[in-house]
Structure 1
Amino acid sequence: MISYNTIAVGTDGSETSLAAVRAAASLARVYDAQLVILCAWYAASGSLLNAPHSDVSSVPIVEEDAADTYLADAYKVAEEEGAPRIEARKISGAPAASMLKEVESTGVDLLVVGNRGVNTISGRVFGSIPTEVVRRSSVNVMIVNTADSESQ
């Protein structure tokens, strides 16, 4: 029987990431697991590989102060969904790498991410956070279909 003790989920404050938080919180409730909400803040800016269209190829930037707000919003969503134990963590670095590092160092059993960027052209060319996480994770990864959340 599969059981999860610690579930982590990433948020960037977007509606789609909050859909992933909601799914992760529901799983935490079902498994009576700890939920760890992660928000990576990243202080650098600029486009990837000096791409000519920086609007579609830039690194997603979350300011440190904004990360606190995003975590508070995600915490409320997790509470509403009934997660029994919730911890919010602000982590520094590029989103995929910093989430994976946190997962490795803290004993997370399951990592939940939204599918934002997976089906975009830039996601296919440059990669996306969900695909990078799946490719490099040493734990199970659940990708939440957040398509319904994108229009909100």
Structure 2
Amino acid sequence: MYSYKTLVVGTDGSDTSLVAVRHAAAMARAFDATLVIVCAFYSNSGSLLNSPNRNVSTLPVVSDNRADEYLREAEAIAREEEVTDIKLERRSGTPVNALLAAVEDTSADAIVIGNKGMSSLTGRVFGNIPTEIARRSTCDVVLVQTEDK
């Protein structure tokens, strides 16, 4: 039977990201896997034309201090789900690059990501984080339904 040993999930403090964290935590508990929770702190020019993995930046979107707050909140959710092996990682960079680097650095078997932005026109035209993760990931991608129906 196939089993996951390490799962990566990202949080930006949003309600939708915390839904993905809860799903990832439930998976980690079921597989007795390590759960790596990542929060990217990064900057953004504010342009609608920025792709999810663009490196150009000017205005802070998530500060490193705020990232720590988001990680503590996500850790509390993972503990509620009774995950025993949790690693918190604050990474500089865009969400896509930070998550993919965490996958590589931890040799993760899967990355759990919410579907936010996939059904929006802007996301379809200019790109979104879940789609870019699915395109570039070297491990399984678990897509969680996080948007209101």
Give the match for residue 123 of structure 1: 123
The answer on whether the counterparts of 2:43 and 2:60 sit within 8 Å (CA) in structure 1 is no
**1:81 and 2:106 correspond:** no
Correspondences of 1:1-152 after superposition (within 5 Å) = 1-49=1-49, 61-148=61-148
Counterpart Cα distance in 1 of 2:16 and 2:89: 19
- What letter corresponds to residue 142 of structure 1 in structure 2? V
* Distance change >3 Å, CA 15–CA 98, structure 1 → 2: same
* Distance change >3 Å, CA 131–CA 91, structure 1 → 2: same
- Percent identical pairs in the alignment equals 52
In the superposition, the TM-score normalised over structure 1's length comes to: 0.87
Name the count of aligned residue pairs. 141
Higher strand share: 2
Higher helix share: 1
Counterpart Cα distance in 1 of 2:147 and 2:130: 14
The answer on whether the counterparts of 1:45 and 1:61 sit within 8 Å (CA) in structure 2 is no
The answer on whether the counterparts of 1:110 and 1:140 sit within 8 Å (CA) in structure 2 is yes
Cα offset, 1:60, TM superposition: 9.0
Which structure 1 segments of 5+ residues have no match?
A: 51-58
Counterpart Cα distance in 2 of 1:91 and 1:108: 16
- What letter corresponds to residue 98 of structure 1 in structure 2? A
Q: What is the SS of the residue equivalent to 2:138?
A: coil
The answer on whether the counterparts of 2:38 and 2:98 sit within 8 Å (CA) in structure 1 is no
Give the match for residue 54 of structure 1: none
Q: Which portions of structure 1, spanning 4 or more consecutive aligned residues, are displaced by more than 4 angstroms?
A: none
- What letter corresponds to residue 90 of structure 1 in structure 2? R
State the Cα RMSD in Å.
1.8
